[in-house]
Chain A
Amino acid sequence: MTKKRALLAGAHFMNGDVACAEGAIAAGCRFFAGYPITPATEIAEHLSERMPEFGGIYIQMEDEIGSMAAVIGASYAGLKAMTATSGPGFSLMQENIGLAAMTETPCVIVDIMRGGPSTGQPTLPGQQDVMQAKWGSHGDYGIIALSPSSVQEMFNLTIEAFNLSETYRVPTLLMGDEIVGHMWEKVVIPPASEIETVNRKKPHVPPDKYAPFMPDDDLVPPMACFGEGYRFHATGLTHDEHGYPKTQSSEVQSKLVRRLCEKINKNEDRIVKVEEIMLEDADIAVISYGIVARSALSAVRKARETGIKAGLLRLITLWPFPEKRVKKLARKTKAIVVPEMNCGQMVREVERAAKETPVAFLSKLGEDPHRPKEILEVMRRSA
């Protein structure tokens, strides 16, 4: 009897955490290191069962600091690697997310956001970590962060996160929340042959010519892995193209750090994904992401029923911030409404891009996202 790896396909009813775990398997992830934390634990639990079926590694580390370090190690040893956590663990991971950014390590970090700060509200949702996603580790670096709004997107965007991290050699964040993590919904999984996966580009020179941090024209260096005979060095110190520390050189620091930012920012058009709904003739636009975007969509539909020309720009990519799309939208709308489950984070980016167009912010904290009628009310006042 032939043994078959049972990649799921077809329609399944599952929760967002499980969908994320299945997405990781489908993306080719074969290493998971993590630490239990509500509301992300189901990702670890599911992968502890599924990883071995695919010959992959699951390990529960002693903390989130170690989890992130092990993920970087596994990625350098050649596997697609990920971890999953929530706010308190995400804070602990920031140290080595910085190391992953500096050493250009492809890897995926899932943050199922809960209410913060500190231990906060473990079983309730939040969108309070979205600025931390960009600025969480010290120093300047480029990063990619995606925001799923449904269980289907927990699956799809996990694959997307792996593909982007492998393409750009950058830690990529999937910023879910307690609701999308625990919510059950239908997920349609295509046959494995129809799932597009991307692998990091390998060196195109022999070992004696290889410089591990020498970028191609796309600003991304090809990546050798441990044990392949390239005998290269990598460090969290500022380094030249060979990976050698250059801690006293302004020139090397400037060149390296600017490239780490630019390889993401200059590829904004290729990376950024948004969903535009009823925006063609919209006078008033809601800009929203994650679970709140579903409240916003409901509000926009209700607004249209009452004659308000409303539309929704749903940010699927949070970082790099879809600046061009927001600028374009701001030029043709009278007002923008930004509902978030925090005290005002992405709204700062929207305001910066919107310039003269008035932006109304609607904050919500605690159990539920904004009720559609709450967003509708603000739209009425802004229209």
Chain B
Amino acid sequence: MVQEVSHPFSSYLRSAMIPHIWCSGCGNGIVLNCFIHALEELQRDLDKLVVVSGIGCIGRTAGYANADSFHTTHGRAIAFATGVKLANPELEVVVISGDGDLFAIGGNHFIHAARRNIGVKVICANNFNYGMTGGQQGPTTPLEASTTTTPYGNIEHPFNLVHLAAAAGATYVARWTTLHVRRLTQSIKRMLQKEGFCFVEVISPCPEIFGRRNKMRTGLEMMEWFRRASSVENFSDPSKAEITSKRILVGEFVNVEKVSYERLLHEKIGQINEKKIVW
């Protein structure tokens, strides 16, 4: 007789939504895995967790997490999450989305959420291109990379996401690759325990769509690039952390204390009502 064995983390997943839609060799599963590990290690109450995502492959993560979850329009995850966090600050609000969603169409929301220091935690799976729509150039596509819309090589300078996040005011900024699973998990844990706007970038392989046009046909080949190019350096200058084929600087870049928008707002509301003595 065959006994059904359930996965030790199955309670963190919405089983009705599995199997997932991701290609073999994709790094999104690793991101989800590390996120779940972090929740497990922190013994977080899933009833108080809201996972929000935008559009793109990684955007499906919201549906796979066994928590309250919302899959928004393209680019709007952070703006939606802002409404959730302000309406109920007791909720842990995590945005998991991609580089195109968060930094091209959603770039404005990202910088303003960071500036306000709203207590939303953002995990960005950066795969250097628009995977779901077939591999177009995006805001993180490296110079000279080949994509379906840069057949002659990319001539746009990519964003250095950790620099952008630090400059916009995030209280915690880190970058890891999907190779650094333990450090990534620790980083997500640290982020979940912090106040204010936090950002973790995960360099994630997309061999089927991005890799095969750029001489890395398998997940392993992409991971090999991450291994070769990455170096761990904590609290280095994020402005010097551009990603190149030769160098992927990873580590924590920012970890500062700053009072969150929602705390300031609710304190202000308290003060206003103290002062207001009506009749």
Contacts and interface: CB of A to CB of B under 8 A. Distances in A.
The short answer to whether A and B are in direct contact, CB under 8 Å, is: yes
A52 interface: yes
A28 interface: no
B4 interface: no
Interface stretch (A223-231, A282-290, A330-338, A364-372): A223-231
A57 B87 contact: yes
Interface residues of A, number: 51
A355 to B, nearest CB: 40
B276 A61 contact: no
Contact of A3 (B76, B80, B269, B277): B277
Contacts of B85: 73
A1 B82 contact: no
Given A57-B86, A66-B79, A232 B273 contact: no
Contact of B76 (A66, A229, A234, A245): A66
A235 B277 CA distance: 44
Interface centre among A52, A63, A232 (most CB of B within 10 A): A52
A81 B87 contact: yes
Interface size range of chain B in the complex: 35 or more
A229 B91 CA distance: 12
A73 B68 contact: no
A295 interface: no
A77 B69 contact: no
B190 to A, nearest CB: 23
B108 interface: yes
Main secondary structure of the interface of B (DSSP, over half): helix
Interface centre among A73, A78, A237, A242 (most CB of B within 10 A): A73
A4 to B, nearest CB: 5
Contacts, number: 153
Nearest to B66: A231
Interface in A227-275: 227-237, 242, 244-245
Contacts of A53: 272-273, 276
A347 interface: no
A70 B278 contact: no
Contacts of A78: 87-88
B82 A59 contact: yes
B84 A77 contact: yes
Nearest to A51: B269
A72 interface: yes
A99 interface: yes
Contact of A235 (B71, B84, B87): B71
A70 B50 contact: no
Interface in A66-99: 66-67, 69-79, 81, 95-96, 98-99
Contacts of B80: 69-70, 72-73
Across the A-B interface, the 5 shortest Cβ-Cβ residue pairs: A73-B83, A70-B83, A77-B87, A69-B79, A66-B79
Given A69-B80, A77-B50, 4 more contacts: A70-B79, A226-B91, A236-B73, A245-B71
